[in-house]
Amino acid sequence: MTQQYRTPTGGHITRDTALSFEFEGTLIEGYAGDTLASALLSNGVHHVTTSIKFGRPRGIAAAGSEDPNGLIQITTPIPEPMQLATTVELAPGLSAHGIPGQGTLPTEPDPARYDTAHLHVDLLVIGAGPAGLNAALEAARAGARVALVDEQPLPGGYLLSTPCMIGGANSTEWIAQTAAELAARAVIHLQRTTVFGLYDDGLALAVERRTDHRGSDAAPDSLRQRIWRIRAIRTIVATGAHERPIVFADNDRPGILLAGSARTFLNRFGVRVGDSVTVFTTNDSAYSSAFDLHDAGVHVGAIIDSRLVIGTEWIEGAKIRGIPLHSGSVVTGTSGDNRLTSITLRRFNGTSFGTAESYEADTLLVSGGWNPAVHLYSQAGGMLRYDERLGAFVPHREVDAADVAASRSGTTFVPHREVDALRRPLPRSHEKFVPHTGVDGLAIAGSAAGKFGLREALDSSHKAVREALVDLRLAHSPSRPPEVEEDRDHTPGAVLWFVPSDDPHKLTTHFVDMQRDATVADIAHAISAGLRSVEHVKRYTTIGTAHDQGKTSGTVASGIVAEISGEKMSSLGTTRFRPPYTPVAFAALAGRARGHLFDPVRVTAIHDWHIAHGAEFEDVGQWKRPRYYPRNGEDMHAAVKRETIAARNAVGILDGSTLGKIDVQGPDAAEFLDRIYTNIMSTLKIGSIRYGVMCGVDGMVIDDGTVLRTEEDRFLVYTTTGGAARVLDWLEEWLQTEWPELRVYLSSATEHLVTFPVVGPRSRAVIGELFPDLDASNEAFPFMTWRDTKLANIPVRIARVSFSGELAYEVSVLSWYGLELWTRLIETGAKHGITPYGTEAMHVLRAEKGYPIVGQDTDGTVTPQDLGMSWVVSKKKLDFIGKRSFDRAANRDDTRRQLVGLLPDDPTKLIPEGSQLVTIESLDHATVPITMDGFVTSSYDSHALGSTFALALLVGGSTRLGEKINAVVNGELLPATITNHVLFDQEGVRRDG
Amino acid sequence: MQLIDCPWCGCREEIEFSYGGQAHIPYPDNPAELNDTQWAHYVFFRSNPKGVCAERWVHSAGCRRWFNALRDTCTYHFIETYRIGESPSFTSASLFPVTESQVSVPTEAGDRKTQ
Amino acid sequence: MPMTKPRTPGAELPAHPTFLWESPTPKKRYDVVIVGGGGHGLATAHYLVKNHGITDIAVIERGWLAGGNMARNTTIIRSNYLWDQSTALYEYALQLWEGLEDDLEYPILFSQRGVLNLAHTLQEVRDSHRRVEANKLNGVDAEWVDADGVRELCPLVNTSRDIRYPVLGATYQPRAGIAKHDYVAWGFARKASAAGVHLIQDTSVTGFLTTGNRVTGIRTNRSDISAGRVALAAAGLTSTLTDTLGIRVPIQSRPLQALVSELLEPVHPTVVMSNAVHLYVSQAHKGELVMGAGVDSYTGYGQRGAFHIIERQMAAAVELFPVFARAHLLRSWAGTVDVTPDASPIVGPTPYENLFLNCGWGTGGFKATPGLGVAFAHTIATGTPHRLVAPFSLDRFVSGRLVDEHGAAAVAH
C-alpha cells in the first residue's frame, strides 16, 4: 500500500525511515515514529477486527490506550496477546492481526529478560505533557531530584497533537528545549514508561518498554521490560484526559473515532483519518479537529453540534471554511459495512427529534467532552466528585484558582532552608521529608485535574510544583508558567450521554462498551431487573471489564444509568479505579524471580562433593539435601538399603549441616531455655547434651533437637532443618517482647558450622584414628556429651548424640573447613567401609528407633505426650511455653492420636505414607463415611527389621499395642500389627557401641 | 508497599518487616491459675478493630528487633512506632480492650452448648 | 449491517432473568434479620424460606448486594479438605452446588473442571496422600496423580525437573471446579426476594437492641429494626458487631488479593493450586485467567493489599506456567478475609439466645455457600446447631478441640 492518507509534511515521524510490517497477512508500509494504528490509517485501513459477541466490524476509535476497539495479536517478532494497535510502535519485523476480544498465549518460551529498578526522588512527575514538563522543569531548576515519566515514545503529550506557541517558541521547539534542559539538570526522564499504580508512602510502580520499538533488531534475550519502583517525597500527576464518546445508533462502525484522536493522527503522525469527515460534538474541542483536518485538505462535510448556542468564533470558523454547521442536532444512525459510508442526523431539542437528513461520510469524529485521567489519583485513595459542568469525575481537591492568579502576579519567595537535609537518608519519625501517605503530598495538575485549557493546565502545574517545592523546603526564584495564547477550546459543552429514544430497551446498537458489545439496551434491562447500583449494572452488562477497563465507557455508563433510573450522577458515584492503569505483562512483574532465582537455593559447604558423588537431592525448605547416593545404577531402594546396612553394621556418614544452630548466650541463658523447652535445660552440665522439645502456647510440638551447654552462660541449640529460621524468630519474640529483662543474646550459627554424624559400630574406630588426641571410649566420652579436639590446627567439636540408635559421633567444624573434614573422615573411614548416606537412609534409621520428625510425624496438632514423650515434659517446672494448654479438655480426650509403630502382616508390603487406618474388616459393602482411626506418617522397608514398618498417629494408640489395624491402600485393606513406636533395639544397647 | 519507621533503623520497606499481632497482651503471671476460658483468651483471642490498634512488628530483615506500632487498619497507615517498654504518645482506652467481663462471655456459650 | 454469529467462544455469558429483586422500604420488624447481604446471608435467607417456611426476613447489606467477598473471590469450589468435620461440610455444599442451577433456576455456570493441588516436596506428597486417602473414606472423589498425570490434566504446568520446586504430583478432585460468583449471589437473591424476603441495601448495622440475654433488634444508620432472631453473616466485620455486645470472636480480618488477565483463548482446562508457591489459577468462562495469592500478613479492612504480594504471585505463575509470561495483569483487587486460629469457620449460637454467629471462613466462604446456607438456616430456625456446623462452635477454642486445617491440608482456598 502507498500511505495515501499520509500528509505531505509534518508530524513527529521519521519519513526517511520507512518500515514495512504485516497486518492480517498483507505487507504494509509506515514510518518510524508511527504506531501500528497510525500506520494502518495512513494506508486507509480502519477495520481492524470484529467484535466479541456480535462479530461486528470494528476499527480504530481512539489514538491512545483508551481505545476500546483496536485489539490486535502480535505474531512477530515477539508474540504477545491482546495489544492495542494504538499503543504498539511500528518496528522492524512486526506482524499482527486483529482479534475479536480474546488473545492467544504464545506457546514458545519467552527468552527475554525482565528486571526491577529502584529510584528515590524528591518529586515524581507523571506525564510529560505541557503540565508535566513545566512541573519537572521548575522543580529541577529549584534543585529537586526529579523523575519525569511518560508512557509515550516522545515527550509533549497534548502538544504533539496540538501545535501552538508556548513560552515564546513553537511547541515542538519548546518540548525539545525543555527536554534538553531536563537532561542537563540530571532529571531522570523515562519515556515509554507507564506509571501503572500509585501505592503507599509515595511509591509509584512503572513499567518501561525498552526494546519492543526496535522490533527484530533487538536481541531475543535483551532486557525487554523493567519495572521501576519509584519512591517520591512528592508526586504530581499530570496524566491528561480521555475524550468521551457519545452513544448513538450504530456508533461502532470503522471510521467512527474520537475527534481529538483524529487531530492526534493528523498532527502527530501526519495521517488524515479519511476523505470525507463529519463531526458530531457536544463541545468546542471538536471544532479544532474539524478545522485542522479541513486545513489539511480533508473534506469536512458537516459539524453536528447538540448545542443550540455555539460560540461565535466557532460559527465563523466553520463559515470561513465552508463547513455546514448543524446546531441543536444529533447523529441518529450510520451506515456502511466494513467502513462508514453515511450518517443520519436529526434536530433534537432534548425531547423530540426533527426529520432525518443523511450525509455521505467515510469518517465520523465524535466528542462528548473530556474525562480527566484520574485513575492514579483514585488508586492512591483520592476522592472524586462529579462535576456537573464537565460531565466528568474530577479530583475532589482542586487547585484553587485564586492562588493561581496570585502566583501569576508575583510569587512568594521561600527562603532557603536546610536543602541539604533532603539529601540525607529518610529520618526516623514524622518529619517533613518522609514520603507522602495516600493523597497527602500528591498533586494533580493539568487536564487530569479538569483544567482542559492549555493556559489553566500550566497554571495548575505551576501551582502544584510550587507547593511541592515549599514542602521540600527548596528555594526557588520567582517565575511564571510559560506564556501561551488565551484558551479557546476545551470549554465545557453540553452533557449528552446518549441519543435517546422512547424506549431505551430498544437501543440495541447504541454501544456503550464496544469491546464487550454492551449497549444502552443492556443497561436498561439491568435497571428493569431491579438493579440500582452502578456496580450491579456493570456486572450485569459487563461494561468496563474489558482490556480498556472502561476508560471511555465507565463515566458514560454511569451517566446512562443516572438518566434511565432518574438518579443523580453524584449519588451514583463511580466505581473505584484499580491498578494497573494499563495491562502489565506477568513476566515483567515476575522480574528476575524466575527459575533458580524464584527462591534462594541453600547448599552446604560440601555440596560440590555430593554432586561429584552422584547424590540425588531432596528439597527441604530452601536447602538441597542429598537424599541418597546411587552407585552402579542402583535405584533408591537398593541405595538406601546399602546405606542403612553400612550405618548399622559398619559406619555411615551424613551431611547434617542443614540442621539449624542457634548460639544462645548470656547470664540468663539457662533460665530462658527453661521457659522455652518443655524439659529443664538449666541443670545441664557444661560438656553435656540434652534432647529437648519446644511447644507453642497451644501445647503443640513445634520443634525439637539437642542442646549443648558449652559454657556456664552459653548453649548451642540445634533445631530441625526446616524450623531453623522459625525457631530463631520464636526465641527472639519471647525474649524481646515478654522477657526483655533476661540478659540473653541469640545468633544463628546455621551457616557457620557444618555437622557430620559419623554413625555405626565402627564409628569409634574412625573417630579414634582421625582424632588421636581424643579418647573416644565410652568411659571417657559417654553418650550425650561433647568434646573439643583438633584436626591439624582446626578446632573440632564432637558430640555423642544419635539419631539412629547406633554409636555415633557428630563432628562439627567451621564451614570453611567442612570439605577438609569430610574428605578426611571419608579417607580415614575407607578401610572401615564408611558410606555416605542421605536423608532417606537417615529416615529409615531414625524411624526404626521411633524418633519422630517434627513436621512429618507431627502436624501442629500433636503434643509431646502424643509422641510418647511424657518424659521430656518437666513436672518440676512451674511453667514453660505450652504447659497450661496440656490441661485443656481436648488434651484429656481418649480420642487423641498417639504415635505407634506398625508392622504389616506381609513384611514385603509397604504401607504408603499418608495411608489411613481403619478397623473395619472389609471395604466391599462399607458405606461412607468410614471411620478413620489414624494415619501413617512414616513408612520404610527395613533391612534391620527384615520387614517393612511404619510410624502412625493412631487414636488411643498407646493402649492398643499388639492389636490389629488395617491400612487402606489402593482400595484394599492391608493388615498390620500395632507396636511400640520403637521397633529396633528397644533396650538401646547399640548406642554405646 | 509502605515504609515502616523502625524505632532502631528508621524508615524501611514493608517487606523487611513481619507482623506479630496485637500488642500489649502480656503473658499471664501464673497460667496455672487461669481457667480454660481465660487461658483460651490469652492463646487465641485478639482484638480485630476497624481503626487504630496497637500491634507488634519485627524488623525481620533488618535489626531483628521487635517493636510496637499504632496503625490504622482501614488505611493501613502507621501512626506511630515505639520501642518495647515505651508507651505510645497517642493513647486510647480502645487500644487495650481486654476486660474481665469480656473474658467471661464465651464460657456461657460453651455451657449452653454442652447442656 | 448483517449481524454475524458470535465467533469467540465464551464471549457471551448466559442472560440474566428479566427481574432480579425488589428494593423495598424496611419494615419495623422481621422474624429474622440477617446482617450481611453476601453469599452466605442470601443463601441463608433462601434456605430459611425453602427448608423452614420462614419468609418474614430482612437481609441487611451495608453496600450493594453481594459486593464484598462474594464479588471478590476466585470462585473455586472443592470439598477435599483434611479433617472429617470440614470435609463433611464442604462435601455437603458440593452436592448442593451440583443441583444449585435447578434449585435457583439461574445459570450459575458451575463448571466441574477439576482442581489440582500440586505437591512440590516429599512432605507435601505425604500430606497429599493423607488427604486423598481421608477424602476417599469420606466419600469425596479424590485421587493422587503423579507429575505425568498433572501434565495430562493440565499440559500448561511446567512439570520438568529443573524448576526450583519441581512438581512431584498433585491431588485431584474431578468434581471440583468454579462457578460464576455474581450469578450465584443473584440467584439466591432473586429467589429470596420473590419469596418476600426484604433485601435492604446501603444500610449499615451499627449495633444491637438487647433485653437480658436476648437481642431484640438491630440499630442501623437509617433506623432501628426489631427482630425475632438475628443472624450474623458479616465476615470480616463480624467482630466490630459482636464487640458491641461484649462477645469476643477470635477472627482477624486480612486482605486477600486476586487478579485477572486479559481475555485469552481457552488454554487452561482445570484449576491449579499450589501452596508451596502461593498460587491458584483458573481460566474463567470469558477467558480471563483468574488468580489468587496468599493472605496478606496483617490486619486490614481497606480492601486492598500490598503489591509485592502480587509481584511474588506473578513470579510463581510464570515459574509454574511458562506460557503465562506474556499474559497481562489487567486488574487486581482485594477482599477482606476473616481468618481464625485453626483456619476453620465459627458457626453457631452465642451467649445471646437468639443471636447466631457465622464467620471465620477465611478463604473457604464461597465454596461453602449453599451448605452453610442450609446449616445456618437450620441453626437459626431450630435454635440448635445443624450437625454439620456443630464442630465449628466458638467454644472449641476453650476446649482445645480445634479443627486445624493449617496442619497438612491445602489450607488456602
pLDDT of residue B115: 27
Residue B41: strand, helix, or coil = helix
- C29 pLDDT exceeds 50? yes
Q: Average pLDDT for residues A126-147, to the nearest whole number?
A: 97
CB contact under 8 A, C348 and B113: yes
Q: What is the 3-state secondary structure (H, E, C) of A263-332?
A: HHHHHHHCECCCCEEEEEECCCHHHHHHHHHHHCCCEEEEEEECCCCCCHHHHHHHHHHCCCEEECEEEE
- B30 pLDDT exceeds 80? yes
pLDDT of residue A434: 55
CATH for C200: 3.50.50.60
C324 and C380 Cβ atoms separated by less than 8 Å: no
* Cα of A626 vs its chain's centroid, Å: 33
Residues C166 and C36 both lie in one domain: no
CB contact under 8 A, B105 and C307: no
CATH for C138: 3.30.9.10
Q: Average pLDDT for residues C185-202, to the nearest whole number?
A: 98
Minimal CA separation from A595 to chain C, in Å: 6
Beta bridge partners of A620: A623
Lowest mean pLDDT among A351-355, A362-366, A822-826: A351-355
Residue C202 structural domain: 18-73+182-250+342-399
Last residue of a domain, one of C296, C312, C339: C339
Residues of chain B whose beta carbon is less than 8 angstroms from a beta carbon of chain A are 1-3, 5-7, 10-11, 18, 20, 26-28, 30-32, 34, 36, 39-40, 42-44, 56, 58, 60, 64-66, 75-77, 84-85
Q: Average pLDDT for residues C181-207, to the nearest whole number?
A: 97
Domain positions in chain B are: 3-114
- For A285-335, the pLDDT digits (tens) are 999 999 999 999 999 999 999 999 999 999 999 999 999 999 999 999 999
Q: Is A22 left (phi over 0), alpha (psi -120 to 50) or beta?
A: beta
- For A233-285, the pLDDT digits (tens) are 999 999 999 999 999 999 999 999 999 999 999 999 999 999 999 999 999 99
Nearest to A428 among B10, B18, B56 (CB): B10
Nearest to B66 among A428, A736, A879 (CB): A736
CB contact under 8 A, C395 and B53: no
| Residue A623 CB neighbours (<10 A) | 19
Closest by alpha carbon to C232, among C245, C246, C243, C242? C242
- Sorting pLDDT into bands at 50, 70 and 90, what band is A413? very low
Superfamily of domain B3-114: Folate-binding superfamily (3.30.2270.10)
CB contact under 8 A, C247 and B105: yes
Last residue of a domain, one of C321, C339, C357: C339
- At which residue does the C-alpha cell 493546565 appear? A457
Lowest mean pLDDT among A315-329, A431-445, B21-35: A431-445
Residues C256 and C328 both lie in one domain: yes
pLDDT of residue A379: 85
Chains with 3+ CB–CB pairs under 8 A to B are A, C
- Sorting pLDDT into bands at 50, 70 and 90, what band is C8? low
- Sorting pLDDT into bands at 50, 70 and 90, what band is B1? confident
pLDDT of residue B4: 93
Residues C330 and C285 both lie in one domain: yes
Chain B residues inside the 8 Å CB shell of A381:
75
What are the percentages of helix, strand and coil residues in chain A, rounded to 5? 25, 30, 45
Residues C369 and C385 both lie in one domain: yes
Residues C136 and C151 both lie in one domain: yes
pLDDT of residue C306: 87
CA–CA dist C334, B76 (Å, integer): 14
A103 and C263 Cβ atoms separated by less than 8 Å: yes
pLDDT of residue A441: 82
Residues C235 and C202 both lie in one domain: yes
Does residue C405 belong to any structural domain of this protein? no
Lowest mean pLDDT among A702-706, C6-10, C350-354: C6-10
A36: cell is: 501500528
- A412 pLDDT exceeds 70? no
Q: Which residue of A has its CA nearest to B2?
A: A200
Residue A33: strand, helix, or coil = coil
Q: Is C246 on the interface with B (CB under 8 A)?
A: yes
Q: Average pLDDT for residues A415-426, to the nearest whole number?
A: 30
Chains with 3+ CB–CB pairs under 8 A to A are B, C
pLDDT of residue B91: 62
Number of domains, chain C:
2
pLDDT of residue C376: 98
- At which residue does the C-alpha cell 497527602 appear? A440
pLDDT of residue A395: 87
Residues C192 and C217 both lie in one domain: yes
* Cα of A756 vs its chain's centroid, Å: 41
Residue A242 CB partners (closer than 8 Å, separation 6+): A62, A64, A66, A370, A371, A373, A551, A552
Burial of C263: CB neighbours in 10 Å, binned 0-12, 13-18, 19+: buried
B72: cell is: 490504622
Does residue C78 belong to any structural domain of this protein? no
Chain B residues inside the 8 Å CB shell of A736:
58, 65-66, 84
C352: cell is: 445471646
Side chain identity at C310, as an amino acid letter? Answer: I
- Sorting pLDDT into bands at 50, 70 and 90, what band is C407? low
- A90 pLDDT exceeds 50? yes
Does residue C52 belong to any structural domain of this protein? yes
* Phi, psi for residue A244 in degrees, rounded to 5: -110, 135
Strand C115-119 relative to strand C169-173: parallel, antiparallel, unpaired?
Answer: antiparallel
Angle at A393 between CA A390 and CA A399, to 5 degrees: 80
Does residue C88 belong to any structural domain of this protein? no
Does residue C82 belong to any structural domain of this protein? no
A723: cell is: 524450623
pLDDT of residue A422: 31
Does residue C312 belong to any structural domain of this protein? yes
Angle at A384 between CA A378 and CA A387, to 5 degrees: 140
Does residue C83 belong to any structural domain of this protein? no
Residue A958 is given by DSSP the state G
pLDDT of residue A991: 93
Closest by alpha carbon to A196, among A186, A185, A205? A205
CA–CA dist A253, A49 (Å, integer): 11
- A875 pLDDT exceeds 90? yes
- Sorting pLDDT into bands at 50, 70 and 90, what band is A423? very low
| Residue B64 CB neighbours (<10 A) | 17
- Sorting pLDDT into bands at 50, 70 and 90, what band is C172? very high
Residues C231 and C358 both lie in one domain: yes
Nearest to C400 among A531, A593, A889 (CB): A889
Minimal CA separation from A570 to chain C, in Å: 16
CB contact under 8 A, C130 and A916: yes
Closest by alpha carbon to A510, among A363, A387, A368? A368
C279 and C285 Cβ atoms separated by less than 8 Å: no
CB contact under 8 A, B109 and C300: no
* Cα of A246 vs its chain's centroid, Å: 36
Chains with 3+ CB–CB pairs under 8 A to C are A, B
Q: Average pLDDT for residues C245-273, to the nearest whole number?
A: 95
Closest by alpha carbon to C349, among A674, A88, A852, B105? B105
CA–CA dist A971, B38 (Å, integer): 46
CB contact under 8 A, C138 and A890: no
CA–CA dist C94, A700 (Å, integer): 32
Angstrom CA distances, C353 to A294, A593, A984, C324, stand at 79, 54, 57, 53
Average pLDDT value over all residues in chain C: 93
**Beta strand extents in C269-327 (DSSP E only):** 271-274, 279-283, 288-295
- Sorting pLDDT into bands at 50, 70 and 90, what band is B89? confident
Q: Is C189 on the interface with A (CB under 8 A)?
A: no
pLDDT of residue A577: 84
The helix (H) or strand (E) run that includes residue A808 is strand A808-814
- Sorting pLDDT into bands at 50, 70 and 90, what band is A429? very low
C248 and C81 Cβ atoms separated by less than 8 Å: no
Q: Is C387 on the interface with A (CB under 8 A)?
A: no
Chain A residues inside the 8 Å CB shell of C404:
859-861
Nearest to C327 among A81, A546, A968 (CB): A81
Lowest mean pLDDT among A360-374, A393-407, B34-48, C143-157: A393-407
Minimal CA separation from A737 to chain B, in Å: 7
Residues C264 and C235 both lie in one domain: no
User: Which residue of C359, C397, C404 is the best one to mutate when testing the B interface, meaning the one whose CB has the most B CBs within 10 A?
Assistant: C397
- For A770-821, the pLDDT digits (tens) are 999 999 999 999 999 999 999 999 999 999 999 999 999 999 999 999 999 9
Nearest to A200 among B1, B34, B84 (CB): B1
Q: Is C16 on the interface with A (CB under 8 A)?
A: yes
- Sorting pLDDT into bands at 50, 70 and 90, what band is C10? low
Last residue of a domain, one of C317, C339, C361: C339
Residue A540 CB partners (closer than 8 Å, separation 6+): A522, A525, A526, A529, A531, C16
Average pLDDT value over all residues in chain A: 93
**Beta strand extents in A827-866 (DSSP E only):** 835-836
- A662 pLDDT exceeds 80? yes
Lowest mean pLDDT among A236-240, A392-396, A477-481, C93-97: A477-481
- Sorting pLDDT into bands at 50, 70 and 90, what band is A380? confident
A261: cell is: 484522536
CA–CA dist A138, A344 (Å, integer): 50
A441 and A202 Cβ atoms separated by less than 8 Å: yes
Residues C166 and C297 both lie in one domain: yes
Share of chain C above pLDDT 70, in %: 96
- For A53-83, the pLDDT digits (tens) are 999 999 999 999 999 999 999 999 999 999 9
- Sorting pLDDT into bands at 50, 70 and 90, what band is C9? low
CA–CA dist B27, B42 (Å, integer): 8
CA–CA dist C301, A235 (Å, integer): 26
Chain A residues inside the 8 Å CB shell of B84:
736-737, 740
Residues C383 and C271 both lie in one domain: no
Does residue C267 belong to any structural domain of this protein? yes
Q: Is C53 on the interface with B (CB under 8 A)?
A: no
* Cα of C333 vs its chain's centroid, Å: 16
Q: Is C207 on the interface with B (CB under 8 A)?
A: no
Q: Which residue of B has its CA nearest to C342?
A: B44
Residue A785 is given by DSSP the state B
Q: At what angle do helices A171-184 and A130-141 cross, to 10 degrees?
A: 30
pLDDT of residue A767: 98
Residues C171 and C258 both lie in one domain: yes
Minimal CA separation from C146 to chain B, in Å: 35
pLDDT of residue C36: 98
